[in-house]
């Protein structure tokens, strides 16, 4: 049958994607999509950390990012404990760096430090948050493919534990900064290993045709090692770094990456007589945004990665380096949902007599660009009440002047959803606030943390005054 010119969503009899099944009860929560304290109270209203979302909306307004603090902390602890256990007998443990790009603010940086994790930052702004939060320099790693001199010097002054080098120019830039400041910069080399994770093209980062790192196959990585070792007074090569992508649901990609990067590790030992003490395998661990996703638990990830690294080191006859990983999404993502208020509801007739309910809310692509940017899927639920209405196929859209301003492409909501209702979208803790904008001059939402029956602001709502403050009259 010929495909419809407007795409699959308009094809005859469209009833949503194959993985989306109509629920028997539209009030049911798919619990693994939500922070652990989220549930429904007697009247069907959503609660988180013992707080009614209607109270959150009344106090802080909508839209709002709502983060379960204990859920966030618990996921951070799980990663730390799982990797410490899995690598304990191999190399004395492992270091877990929270990838601050997923979501970072002063309080979150403090949570990460208090739970015993390190912090990975990739800009001067993220570094400034870490410093403000009191994170010690030795527990911070600086990433980025084009670090400025000012960013490098700020990191060295704070005594960061590592700078991940990404280009030949950066080797010279960091060495020069270290010389000016009279310090030795601890560095890792980011290596592209030719592994393309099963993910969206724009978030797969280890294949050769992209901006990050030094290529293994082209010999750039080996040359980078040589150049770093030429600056022993200013650069201390701690190890190699590999990151293969995002939203990864198995360890097979890490197996290939580890094998290839350990090959370079062995070459360095043979050619230069230097056995590098560290190996960073990156992050990219997937989470469940919808029922189609089945992520691995940290304990399973850690065990699988430990087995891979141990096997490769035994085969090469080298000691297991101290391993580090960089989860961001897997900690922040499930801990947070975005709370919206419905403004309008309209029924749209599709081909084949099918219909779809368009539910417009008071946010959109300015607070969650991922569906437009990555074609990302999300789920949602009616949050302020229980409904006895039958489920109806719905699309949750934003208020922005773009046809692509879609938050949830397909989900079943009660057919009586109406203006004034609250809609909650789970899994928005990673990259939603970080990638947010002021498109259409819409102020960014607040971040509200909930714990033990109390809600408090982590990041306040922007105002129109904030938006106008940067304009020069």
Give φ, ψ of 233 to 5 degrees: -75, -20
Closest CA to 429 of 44, 35, 122: 35
Closest CA to 29 of 357, 380, 391: 380
- CB 449, CB 108: distance < 8 Å: no
Tokens of 237: 């090569």
DSSP-derived letter for residue 207 is S
Which is catalytic among the residues 91, 105, 380, 401? 401
Q: Which spans in 115-186 are helix H? A: 124-132, 149-157, 168-181
Omega of the bond prior to 141 within 30 degrees of 0, cis?
no
Q: What pLDDT, on a 0 to 100 scale, did the predictor assign at position 389?
A: 96
Q: What pLDDT, on a 0 to 100 scale, did the predictor assign at position 105?
A: 98
pLDDT tens over the chain, length 473 residues = 333 333 444 444 567 888 999 999 999 999 999 999 999 999 999 999 999 999 999 999 999 999 999 999 999 999 999 999 999 999 989 999 999 999 999 999 999 999 999 999 999 999 999 999 999 999 999 999 999 999 999 999 999 999 999 999 999 999 999 999 999 999 999 998 876 655 544 444 445 666 888 988 889 999 999 999 999 999 999 999 998 777 888 788 778 888 888 889 999 999 999 999 999 999 989 999 999 998 989 999 999 999 999 998 998 888 999 999 999 999 999 999 999 999 999 998 877 777 789 999 999 999 999 999 999 999 999 999 999 999 999 999 999 999 999 999 999 999 999 999 999 999 999 999 999 999 999 999 999 999 999 999 999 999 999 999 999 98
Tokens of 50: 């013992």
Closest CA to 157 of 191, 131, 133, 122: 131
Q: What pLDDT, on a 0 to 100 scale, did the predictor assign at position 11?
A: 42
Tokens of 269: 């030992």
DSSP three-state, residue 349: strand
Q: What pLDDT, on a 0 to 100 scale, did the predictor assign at position 257?
A: 83
**Per DSSP, what are the bridge partners of residue 455?**
450
Give φ, ψ of 339 to 5 degrees: -105, 125
Q: What pLDDT, on a 0 to 100 scale, did the predictor assign at position 136?
A: 98
* Whole-number Å distance between alpha carbons of 346 and 343: 10
How many other β-carbons are positioned within 10 Å of the β-carbon of residue 423?
29
Distances, alpha carbon 143 to alpha carbons 19, 135, 160, 163, 269, in Å: 37, 16, 11, 6, 25
Distances, alpha carbon 82 to alpha carbons 96, 171, 288, 418, in Å: 10, 34, 20, 45
Phi-psi region of 137 (alpha: psi -120 to 50; beta: other; left: phi over 0): alpha
- CB 124, CB 100: distance < 8 Å: no
Q: What pLDDT, on a 0 to 100 scale, did the predictor assign at position 209?
A: 63
Total residues belonging to the chain:
473
Query: Which long-range contacts (C-beta less than 8 Å, at least 24 apart) are formed by 20-26?
Result: 20/290, 20/291, 20/292, 20/410, 20/411, 20/412, 21/291, 22/391, 22/412, 23/391, 23/412, 25/391, 26/382, 26/387, 26/389, 26/390, 26/391, 26/412, 26/413, 26/414
Q: Which residues contact 172 (CB under 8 A, 6 or more apart)?
A: none
Q: Which residues contact 5 (CB under 8 A, 6 or more apart)?
A: none
pTM: 0.93
Active site residue 401: yes
For helices 69-91 and 106-114, angle between their N-to-C axes, nearest 10 degrees: 40
DSSP three-state, residue 365: coil
DSSP three-state, residue 342: strand
Distances, alpha carbon 161 to alpha carbons 25, 155, 191, 226, 325, in Å: 51, 9, 19, 21, 15
* Whole-number Å distance between alpha carbons of 367 and 346: 22
């Amino acid at each position: 049958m010929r495909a419809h010119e407007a795409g699959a969503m308009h094809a005859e009899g469209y009833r949503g994607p194959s993985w989306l099944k109509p629920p028997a009860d539209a009030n049911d929560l798919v619990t693994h999509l939500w922070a652990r304290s989220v549930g429904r109270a007697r009247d069907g209203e959503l609660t988180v950390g013992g707080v009614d979302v209607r109270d959150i909306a009344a106090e802080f307004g909508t839209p709002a990012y709502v983060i379960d603090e204990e859920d966030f902390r618990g996921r951070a602890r799980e990663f730390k404990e799982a990797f410490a256990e899995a690598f304990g007998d191999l190399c004395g443990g492992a270091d877990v760096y929270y990838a601050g790009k997923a979501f970072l603010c002063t309080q979150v940086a403090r949570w990460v430090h208090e739970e015993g994790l390190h912090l990975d930052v990739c800009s001067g702004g993220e570094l400034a948050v870490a410093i403000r939060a009191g994170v010690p320099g030795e527990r911070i790693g600086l990433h980025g493919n084009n670090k400025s001199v000012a960013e490098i010097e700020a990191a060295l002054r704070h005594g960061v534990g590592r700078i991940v080098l990404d280009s030949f120019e950066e080797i010279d830039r960091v060495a020069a900064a270290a010389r000016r400041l009279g310090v030795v910069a601890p560095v890792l080399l980011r290596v592209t290993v030719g592994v393309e994770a099963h993910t969206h093209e724009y978030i797969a980062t280890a294949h050769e045709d992209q901006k990050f790192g030094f290529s293994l196959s082209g010999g750039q990585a080996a040359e980078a090692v040589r150049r770093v070792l030429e600056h022993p007074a200013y650069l201390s090569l701690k190890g190699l770094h590999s990151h293969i992508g995002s939203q990864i649901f198995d360890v097979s990609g890490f197996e290939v990456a580890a094998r290839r990067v350990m090959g370079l590790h062995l070459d360095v030992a043979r050619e230069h007589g230097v056995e590098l003490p560290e190996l960073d395998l990156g992050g990219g661990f997937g989470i469940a945004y919808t029922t189609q996703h089945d992520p691995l638990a940290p304990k399973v990830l850690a065990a699988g990665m430990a087995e891979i690294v141990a096997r490769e080191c035994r085969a090469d006859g080298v000691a297991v380096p101290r391993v580090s990983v960089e989860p961001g999404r897997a900690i922040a993502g499930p801990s947070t949902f975005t709370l919206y208020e419905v403004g309008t509801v309209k029924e749209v007739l599709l081909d084949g007599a099918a219909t779809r309910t368009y539910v417009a809310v008071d946010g959109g692509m300015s607070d969650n660009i991922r569906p437009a940017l990555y074609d990302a899927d999300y789920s949602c639920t009616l949050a302020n009440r229980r409904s006895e209405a039958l489920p109806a196929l719905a699309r949750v859209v934003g208020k922005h002047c773009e046809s692509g301003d879609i938050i949830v492409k397909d989900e079943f909501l009660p057919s009586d959803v109406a203006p004034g209702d609250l809609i909650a979208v789970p899994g928005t803790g990673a990259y939603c606030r970080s990638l947010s904008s002021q498109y259409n001059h819409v102020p960014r939402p607040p971040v509200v943390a909930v714990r033990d029956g109390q809600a408090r602001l982590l990041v306040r709502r922007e105002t129109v005054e904030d938006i106008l403050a940067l304009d020069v009259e």
